[in-house]
């Protein structure tokens, strides 16, 4: 008997089924495992084996049906069955024959819930072992955690590019049992290469010089375990491709072939010597999907959202295939239009726009259903050159970086805390793979010191979007005034963060001018809400001209927005009768054509609270009575146009065309998952009496082209008016 039994390759763990009436056998309390076994076989067919009471066993083919096969295939993560086999077609199993005379209806969640003679009650031999053939289509989102070919890597040969990251070319190796095995390249196609590259974080494949490798590999001892890989190119994982496993002892049975070698093309973010540019999401390779139409960015609704469509998005963005296709606004909700629904990509499309989809109206979908992706990204090894020590949790600590001393030896060192801010901490947290920065600490004296005491980096200055600290500016030679370890830079990182966005259309709708008598502005003057010239006014006579509008600030992130300062440092504003928890929460500015502020930058501080929330979310923060301040995820804080200080003092502004700009959290004081949407801009036309706003939009809502047109507006119209 020549068959091969591979433990646990395609088994699927199951949740404990709910008990059903007899004559079903009693379901076991542990998760029942199901797998396909036998040789030769493809990944979606094989002998059925069940793990029950600590032992793998088979099912007898008596009374077996397509309905049984359907239940089993779904348990294995396939959408359905296309057939079943009898008489040990995939070879005889060993051990117990766990079930016999199984009769499923077809809709059961687990084979345990189908009628049968009961566990271990059978009059069959292994000559009657049943098998199934499943439809080669995975249930969306199915993750096979026991999959033994979960990991794939490229081994570069000899001196070639061993140190350069990312590794884009080499011999394909698959994690197999406790070691790594190669794939026999007979029948290997560029489509297989595409799947491997996608898994490794690369959007495209390229041709490889096989002869070069042949010379080298012929002298090596090779271990093949996988043969006849036949991917379509649209799979997100090698495990989803038809392939065969060799017999355990046939380690070199690849006659006439050699180990499969691939070469991948990295996306622009991962090309060597290019600096990481602006990304729409703070975690590299993951985020809410937004698409550009008519020069405006919008989201995608999650109906039928799956790994194939997510992979098209990932590759379009320069990453590999998709690791996860997320639904339900799990990576934050958008604010703008929703453009697509029921996207059904095959996986070969160059752009998500080439996939079939449905147009939607706002009634069909809400932002609660925004689709998101997590993409495979190349391994850069960045986390190996940074670590944190001394924190109370693994998410906080003093930052240590690996550096080379003048002798060329590697050692860990500290970063000078001076000028270290949330922006630098954001980069450190990203590099550490710990998400977002809650805080950048300039002093870390309260943690136990590791024996690393030397400062090796100072003057670090990041834009906030770099992938590693080495991409940020820093001093050429270390210069740190307080060189003690307790003044080294530290971070507190967090897996989730808030994300504040201003409702732009509300600003546009509510704008107006008010000439407000000075006698009504004492309180505002005390809080610095007027421009400097107000001090020279003839109080209480006369007025100030105010540009007024409402601000509605939504938290569309995944964590509540909370002021950085604790209550003890909140400032009581007697005049307005509430505490301010953040000194500078927003900037309100009026800019002219060359970006110069014409109305004095008004720095507004607020009392943060939940004014209202979307359906199903309850309010948590309230200003009154020294209450907790913040904005809950899914809620918003509304500053109505008629409250004090909710304005820009334009008394000294001449008629003309301007840009109104509102920036929330301008100093990055509080962590957010996305800072590109913190600015809101409008074109603003002022004729000396009235004011109009148009094109109000969030900082990242327009295409670059539309944004350029927008920015030109004041100049063009100024010329026309004058």
Ligand X SMILES: *[C@@H]1O[C@H](CO)[C@@H](O)[C@H](O)[C@H]1NC(C)=O
- The contact set with ligand X (CB under 6 A) reads 248-249, 335, 358-359, 405-407, 451, 503, 505-506, 509, 552, 592-594, 596
- Closest CA relative to residue 309, chosen from 289, 292, 333: 289
Q: How far is the CB of 272 from ligand X (least distance, A)?
A: 29
Beta bridge partners of 312: none
Residue 522 or 692 having the CB closest to ligand X: 692
Distance in angstroms (rounded) separating the CA atoms of residues 586 and 606:
8
The tokens for 721 are 């008016």
Q: Sign of dihedral through CA atoms 333, 334, 337, 341?
A: negative
Residue 221 or 278 having the CB closest to ligand X: 221
Residue 126 or 580 having the CB closest to ligand X: 126
- Are 322 and 237 in contact, with CB atoms under 8 Å apart? no
Distance in angstroms (rounded) separating the CA atoms of residues 114 and 74:
14
Q: How far is the CB of 625 from ligand X (least distance, A)?
A: 27
- Closest CA relative to residue 722, chosen from 657, 668, 674, 665: 657
Q: How far is the CB of 324 from ligand X (least distance, A)?
A: 26
Q: How far is the CB of 594 from ligand X (least distance, A)?
A: 4
Q: How far is the CB of 27 from ligand X (least distance, A)?
A: 36
Residue 26 or 505 having the CB closest to ligand X: 505
Distance in angstroms (rounded) separating the CA atoms of residues 555 and 497:
10
Show the 3-state SS of 430-482.
HHHCCCEEEEEECCCCCCCCCCCCCEEECCCECCCCCCCHHHCECCCCCCCCC
Cβ atoms < 10 Å from Cβ of 257: 16
Distance in angstroms (rounded) separating the CA atoms of residues 204 and 512:
53
Distance in angstroms (rounded) separating the CA atoms of residues 519 and 340:
53
Residue 145 or 407 having the CB closest to ligand X: 407
Q: How far is the CB of 377 from ligand X (least distance, A)?
A: 30
- Closest CA relative to residue 607, chosen from 648, 649, 646: 646
Q: What is the DSSP string of 276-330?
A: ----SSSSTTEEE-EEEETTEEEEEB-TT--HHHHHHHHHHTT--SEEEEE-TTT
Distance in angstroms (rounded) separating the CA atoms of residues 31 and 366:
37
578: phi then psi, degrees, rounded to nearest 5: -150, 170
Residue recorded with tokens 């005889």 = 92
Beta bridge partners of 682: 660
User: Quick one: 624 exposed, middle or buried, by C-beta within 10 A (0-12, 13-18, 19+)?
Assistant: exposed
Residue 475 or 640 having the CB closest to ligand X: 640
Residue 367 or 578 having the CB closest to ligand X: 367
- Closest CA relative to residue 372, chosen from 537, 628, 556, 241: 556
Residue 29 or 249 having the CB closest to ligand X: 249
- Are 353 and 290 in contact, with CB atoms under 8 Å apart? no
Residue 335 or 698 having the CB closest to ligand X: 335
Residue recorded with tokens 């540019």 = 277
Cβ atoms < 10 Å from Cβ of 652: 14
Residue 230 or 506 having the CB closest to ligand X: 506
Torsion region of 50: left, alpha or beta (phi above 0 gives left; psi -120 to 50 gives alpha): beta
Distance in angstroms (rounded) separating the CA atoms of residues 496 and 307:
23
Q: How far is the CB of 452 from ligand X (least distance, A)?
A: 6
List % helix, strand, coil for the chain (3-state, nearest 5).
15, 30, 55
Q: State the DSSP H helix or E strand holding residue 506, giving kind and residue range, or none if neither.
A: helix 504-510
Q: How far is the CB of 193 from ligand X (least distance, A)?
A: 32
Residue 248 or 328 having the CB closest to ligand X: 248
Residue 248 or 517 having the CB closest to ligand X: 248
Q: How far is the CB of 511 from ligand X (least distance, A)?
A: 12
Which alpha helices (DSSP H) does 10-79 contain, by range?
Answer: 66-75
Cβ atoms < 10 Å from Cβ of 220: 12
Residue 143 or 368 having the CB closest to ligand X: 368
- Are 592 and 656 in contact, with CB atoms under 8 Å apart? yes
Cβ atoms < 10 Å from Cβ of 413: 18
Q: How far is the CB of 149 from ligand X (least distance, A)?
A: 22
Q: How far is the CB of 69 from ligand X (least distance, A)?
A: 29
Vertex 125, ends 39 and 117: CA angle to 5°?
110
Q: How far is the CB of 68 from ligand X (least distance, A)?
A: 30
Q: How far is the CB of 500 from ligand X (least distance, A)?
A: 13
Q: How far is the CB of 614 from ligand X (least distance, A)?
A: 8
Residue 247 or 461 having the CB closest to ligand X: 247
Residue 9 or 680 having the CB closest to ligand X: 680
Residue 19 or 179 having the CB closest to ligand X: 179
Show the 3-state SS of 85-148.
ECCCCCCCCCCEEEECCCECCCCCCCHHHCECCCCCCCCCCHHHECEEEECCCECCCCCCCCCC
- Are 202 and 267 in contact, with CB atoms under 8 Å apart? yes
The tokens for 146 are 């026991």
- Closest CA relative to residue 348, chosen from 152, 140, 198, 150: 198
Q: How far is the CB of 348 from ligand X (least distance, A)?
A: 20
Provide Rg for the chain, Cα atoms: 31
Residue 469 or 556 having the CB closest to ligand X: 556
Q: How far is the CB of 20 from ligand X (least distance, A)?
A: 41
User: Quick one: 717 exposed, middle or buried, by C-beta within 10 A (0-12, 13-18, 19+)?
Assistant: middle
- The HSE-up count of residue 173 (CA atoms within 13 Å, CB side) is 16
Q: How far is the CB of 610 from ligand X (least distance, A)?
A: 13
Residue 170 or 390 having the CB closest to ligand X: 390
Q: How far is the CB of 703 from ligand X (least distance, A)?
A: 16
């Amino acid at each position: 008997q020549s068959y091969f039994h591979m433990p646990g390759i395609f088994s699927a763990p199951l949740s404990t089924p709910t008990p059903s009436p007899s004559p079903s056998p009693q379901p076991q309390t542990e998760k029942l495992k199901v797998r396909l076994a036998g040789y030769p076989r493809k990944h979606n067919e094989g002998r059925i084996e069940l793990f029950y009471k600590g032992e793998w066993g088979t099912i007898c083919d008596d009374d077996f049906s397509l309905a049984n096969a359907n239940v089993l295939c779904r348990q294995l993560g396939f959408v359905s069955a296309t057939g079943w086999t009898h008489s040990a077609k995939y070879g005889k199993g060993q051990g117990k024959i766990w079930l016999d005379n199984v009769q499923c209806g077809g809709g059961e969640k687990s084979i345990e819930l189908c009628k049968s003679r009961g566990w271990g009650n059978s009059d069959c031999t292994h000559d009657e072992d049943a098998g199934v053939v499943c439809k080669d289509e995975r249930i969306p989102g199915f993750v096979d955690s026991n999959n033994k070919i979960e990991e794939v890597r490229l081994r570069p040969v000899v001196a070639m590019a061993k140190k350069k990251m990312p590794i884009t070319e080499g011999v394909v190796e698959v994690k197999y049992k406790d070691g790594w095995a190669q794939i026999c390249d007979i029948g290997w196609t560029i489509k297989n290469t595409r799947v491997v590259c996608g898994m490794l974080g690369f959007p495209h494949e390229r041709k490889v010089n096989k002869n070069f490798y042949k010379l080298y590999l012929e002298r090596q001892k090779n271990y093949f375990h996988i043969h006849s890989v036949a991917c379509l190119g649209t799979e997100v994982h090698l495990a989803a491709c038809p392939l065969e496993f060799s017999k355990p002892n046939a380690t070199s049975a690849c006659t006439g072939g050699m180990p499969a070698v691939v070469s991948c093309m990295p996306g622009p973010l991962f090309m060597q010597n290019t600096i990481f540019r602006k990304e729409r999401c703070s975690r590299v390779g993951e985020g809410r999907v937004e698409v550009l139409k008519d020069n405006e960015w919008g989201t995608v609704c999650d109906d039928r959202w799956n790994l194939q469509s997510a992979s098209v998005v990932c590759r379009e963005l320069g990453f590999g295939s998709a690791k996860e296709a997320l639904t339900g606004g799990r990576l934050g909700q958008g604010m703008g239009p929703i453009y697509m629904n029921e996207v059904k990509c095959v996986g070969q499309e160059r752009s998500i726009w080439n996939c079939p989809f449905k147009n939607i109206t706002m009634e069909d979908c809400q932002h609660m259903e925004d689709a998101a992706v997590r993409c495979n990204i190349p391994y850069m090894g960045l986390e190996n050159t940074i670590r944190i020590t001394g924190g109370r949790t693994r998410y906080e600590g003093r930052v240590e970086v690996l550096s080379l001393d003048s002798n060329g030896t590697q050692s860990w060192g500290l970063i000078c805390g001076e000028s270290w801010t949330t922006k630098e901490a954001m980069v450190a947290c990203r590099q550490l793979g710990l998400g977002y920065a809650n805080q950048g600490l300039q002093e870390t004296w309260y943690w136990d010191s590791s024996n690393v005491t030397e400062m090796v980096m100072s003057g670090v200055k990041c834009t906030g979007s770099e992938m590693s600290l080495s991409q940020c500016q820093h001093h050429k030679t270390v210069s740190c005034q307080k060189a003690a370890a307790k003044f080294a830079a530290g971070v507190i990182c967090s897996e989730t963060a808030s994300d504040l966005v201003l409702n732009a259309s509300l600003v546009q709708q509510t704008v107006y001018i008010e000439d407000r008598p000075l006698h009504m502005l004492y309180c505002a003057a005390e809080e610095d809400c007027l421009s400097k010239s107000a001090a020279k006014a003839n109080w209480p006579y006369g007025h100030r001209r105010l540009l007024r509008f409402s601000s509605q600030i939504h938290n569309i992130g995944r964590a509540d927005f909370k002021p950085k300062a604790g209550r003890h440092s909140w400032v009581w504003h007697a005049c307005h009768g509430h505490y301010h928890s953040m000194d500078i929460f927003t900037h309100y500015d009026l800019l002219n054509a060359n970006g110069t502020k014409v109305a004095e930058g008004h720095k507004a501080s607020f009392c943060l609270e939940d004014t209202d929330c979307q359906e199903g979310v309850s309010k948590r923060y309230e200003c009154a009575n020294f209450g907790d301040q913040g904005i809950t995820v899914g809620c918003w804080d509304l500053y109505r146009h008629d409250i004090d200080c909710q304005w820009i003092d334009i008394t000294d502004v001449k008629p003309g065309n301007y840009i109104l700009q509102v920036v929330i959290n301008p100093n990055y004081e509080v962590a957010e998952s996305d800072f590109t949407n913190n600015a809101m801009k409008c074109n603003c036309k002022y004729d000396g009496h009235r004011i109009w706003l148009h094109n109000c939009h969030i900082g990242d809502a327009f295409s670059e082209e539309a944004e350029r047109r927008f920015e030109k507006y004041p100049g063009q119209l100024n010329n026309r008016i004058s």
